[in-house]
Amino acid sequence: MTEAVPLPTIDGPAATKPAILELEREAFAAWLAERRQPPMRAKQIRRWLLQARATRFDEMTDLPLGLRQELAGHFRPFSTTIDRHQRSSDDTHKLAVRLQDNKLVESVLIQDDGRATACVSTQVGCAMGCVFCASGLNGVERNLTVAEIVEQLVHLRNLTHRDDDGRKPMDRADRLTHIVVMGMGEPLANLDNLIEALAIAGDPNGLNIGQRHITISTVGLPAKMKRLAEVDKQYHLAVSLHAPNDELRSRIVPTNEKTGLGDILAAADEYFEKTGRQVTYEYVVLGQLNDRPEHARQLAGLLRGRKAHVNLIPWNDVRGLPFFSPDEDDLRGFIDTVRKAGISVKVRKRKGADIDAACGQLRRNMQQEQTRQTPRPLTTEH
């Protein structure tokens, strides 16, 4: 059963106040100093938000009451609010997160086998134009800020919890264990803000998530892939391939016309050489389009000899798009062909199907609802 969970939103004057995670640390330290508060207060406040799950200043009980009141008068805990929260029968949670300029992005919490994985967005919309994806149907509007990326993680982390008796369920984590940057947008198109957000996520005083538990997905921007390799972190790189030849990939992923598989694979090889981290190749399987036996043979030839893993993702239906999921026999044949070439491959488990957990669907549905509910302006005929 799908459960929709109502949550409060910020309205009125509070919506114009700056949020704590948006503040420059030096400026906030100066604000505290003006009130004769010790520098440690800034660390305490961030700890409450990033580690102790506080969502209001009055919950920060080791701060003086007067400071809590001043904080509430000048700031917001977060710049974003949860506009809609859906919970799947498999305990996948999907959030529509409203940004301070009233735009929406999506975030997902996937819980399975003792892991709690946060899937977050990096842009409002997407400019890559992948034909099967709901995220980019209206293009890209803007990059997310560092705070907007981190706050998605915090909102999702706050959904992991212990039972009422205080014990952790055996099959559930009570903290985020993994991050996948596979939500709305092209992560490498917002690389600077993403790197800073992931630094906060990995900080022991932040969310304390190890680099090897973070996966960054890209449609394949060779220059940015090389720059990510230079950052010298142990992040896992996932390249959204979706086709084994340039002609078909350019039909499915239009940006391929400017890059090409050769440059993308060369950049992925360089990432592996510099980081030692195996590259994953994501492949959304579209029935009768990219799942033919010749496609499997071409994919095997493309990746043979590389330290690579393939994630096959049967397409999630998106209303209004002319694609369909692959036939089970076709999918099994595809897997067998790739495996016989000595390439690691698996089918990604489908989670949250009953809440439209595929990226962009909830936002699109909400935008359509808003359009239907908005009254048409009156016109006067002359």
Q: Which residues are catalytic?
A: 106, 359
How far CA 347 is from CA of 133, 148, 312, in Å, comes to 19, 31, 5
C-alpha dihedral, 175 to 346 to 93 to 47, nearest 10°:
20
> Residue 268, by phi and psi: left (phi above 0), alpha (psi -120 to 50) or beta?
alpha
How far CA 2 is from CA of 21, 91, 114, 120, 356, in Å, comes to 32, 9, 21, 21, 11
In one letter, which amino acid is 106? E
In what helix (H) or strand (E) does residue 226 lie, and over which residues does it extend? helix 222-230
Which pair of tokens denotes residue 193?
Answer: 């803000």
Considering only CA atoms, which of 80, 84, 79 is closest in space to residue 96?
84
How far CA 72 is from CA of 27, 50, 55, 59, 77, in Å, comes to 17, 18, 11, 11, 8
Helix (H, G, I), strand (E, B) or coil at 46: helix
Phi, psi of 276 (to 5 degrees): 75, 10
Please state whether beta strands 123-125 and 214-218 pair in parallel, antiparallel, or not at all (unpaired).
unpaired
